[in-house]
Structure 1
């Protein structure tokens, strides 16, 4: 029996033109697209995926929505909570593969940004494969990440000359500025708090990157930090969700050149 195929395809941050030629080719012969759906909270994100599929899949296909299990956002034990959430996601996706994808068919999961960067889907597919109940071959198509789009939209390099870039989360940044770091990209920061950081850091912030509602702010952290928090809160209420990211640099020149850019 021919195995099912699952293609994990990075689709960028919202702009349909973020799809690479490889991603377009990978989409062309898909039979089933699986979408983890958070219901009304992210209905417009599901709609974007459906538009991408309609534009690039050249054969009759189905979009199967799988209800994304809820998880606690600020748990006391973060690791255990995320492990349980991944396990629940794996069970639901595995059931959907078994029910909706026939032998020899090709399924796809469309991932925002790049599948390898702060996304859980590859770990979840590892869980499903380890169960051994649904056989499938996996292919991963890289995508344009929000890290790259942020730097491009602001027109800045991510690193200083010969320097390193640290990509981390808001949860880790809350503990303080990383030792030895000059450039820090912060993702998954649900409630940004800049009060404990050096106000002379340069910040380049972006939300809804690549989409029609994109917002950009840059400048000295002490000057624009409160504005970012205010605009972010307003945008989240307006849309019901937000995806944002920011770059912090020990670089006064970068802050001066980008001050208050939107």
Structure 2
């Protein structure tokens, strides 16, 4: 039976790689990489750096083209479902053509595979079609959320209180009920600007050489974050940022 590792490789710092992940990379025969285009070559570069550092000499690397998708769709759910389906066809073809019986393949996932990543769902879709068989194992990694909290030296939750992880699209619809602390990912709308009284702990390209950080009330630093975010996106061709929004008492105003 063929096996595939879904390996979380951390938020951008090569030192984020866990011992479990390094061992999995060392056992891997074939690495599957999806090319996201020249603008995101740095995402591929980190994966290749880790492969060179921890893999066996006989390992192989195969690449497929990641399908394009509409970033501002009218039907978000339907668009994502269609993109995942097309992506699953690319991954299935790579597995079928390049992973031999009794070999191990790996897909290296930015951050942690359980948090806003489609790889697990894509592998399940492939298995559900029944034409390609394999077993797979998920290896957790340091997420951009935990890396962000570490960089700002904060806890994500306050004593006895919950926090919620959501998307910018959902935050733009309103602050989630029942929580005062909200971690936001995938915010093309810059929805934080709707909450000027909230504290924000923001980071882009966290744990990479291009890291940007900012903190304060949205009223104080929101415009600066928007400007830095826009400039960074123009410079790199893409942006990956995360932030914590906090209502009420926080460390910034001297409270616990």
Give the structure-1-normalised TM-score: 0.94
Task: Give the deviation of 1:134 after TM superposition.
Answer: 1.1
Q: Does the CA contact (< 8 Å) of 1:176 and 1:196 recur in 2?
A: no
Who is 1:181 aligned against? 179
Task: Give the deviation of 1:232 after TM superposition.
Answer: 0.5
Q: Does the CA contact (< 8 Å) of 1:28 and 1:59 recur in 2?
A: no
Match 1:221 to one of 210, 218, 223: 218
Who is 2:11 aligned against? 13
Deviations 1:124-144 (A, max 9, x none): 000000111111110110001
Q: Does the CA contact (< 8 Å) of 2:169 and 2:191 recur in 1?
A: no
Match 1:235 to one of 228, 232, 236: 232
Task: Give the deviation of 1:255 after TM superposition.
Answer: 3.1
Q: SS of the counterpart of 2:73? A: coil
Q: Partners in 2 of 1:102 and 1:91 — Cα distance? A: 18
Residue-pair matches, total? 254
Task: Give the deviation of 1:39 after TM superposition.
Answer: 1.6
Give the structure-2-normalised TM-score: 0.97
Structure 1 outlier segments of 4+, above 2 Å: 193-196, 251-257
Q: Partners in 1 of 2:92 and 2:133 — Cα distance? A: 10
Residue 222 to residue 39, structure 1, CA distance change in 2 (3 Å): same
Who is 1:212 aligned against? 209
Task: Give the deviation of 1:29 after TM superposition.
Answer: 1.6
Q: Partners in 2 of 1:146 and 1:122 — Cα distance? A: 18
Who is 2:36 aligned against? 38
Q: Partners in 2 of 1:50 and 1:194 — Cα distance? A: 34
Q: Does the CA contact (< 8 Å) of 2:192 and 2:245 recur in 1?
A: no
Who is 1:260 aligned against? none
Give the alignment of 1:99-110 within 5 angstroms. 99-110=97-108
RMSD of aligned Cα (Å): 1.1
Q: Partners in 2 of 1:125 and 1:202 — Cα distance? A: 38
Confirm whether residue 158 of structure 1 aligns to residue 164 of structure 2: no
Who is 2:77 aligned against? 79
Match 2:111 to one of 110, 113, 117: 113
Q: Please, which runs of 5 or more residues in structure 2 have no aligned partner? A: none
Q: Partners in 1 of 2:148 and 2:244 — Cα distance? A: 8
Who is 2:94 aligned against? 96
Q: Does the CA contact (< 8 Å) of 1:202 and 1:254 recur in 2?
A: no
Q: Partners in 2 of 1:93 and 1:33 — Cα distance? A: 11
Task: Give the deviation of 1:252 after TM superposition.
Answer: 4.3
Q: Partners in 2 of 1:58 and 1:210 — Cα distance? A: 26
Q: Partners in 2 of 1:201 and 1:192 — Cα distance? A: 14
Give the alignment of 1:119-198 within 5 angstroms. 119-197=117-195
Q: Please, which runs of 5 or more residues in structure 1 have no aligned partner? A: 258-262
Task: Give the deviation of 1:178 after TM superposition.
Answer: 1.2
Task: Give the deviation of 1:101 after TM superposition.
Answer: 0.7
Q: Partners in 2 of 1:186 and 1:239 — Cα distance? A: 21
Deviations 1:215-243 (A, max 9, x none): 10000111101100000000111111110
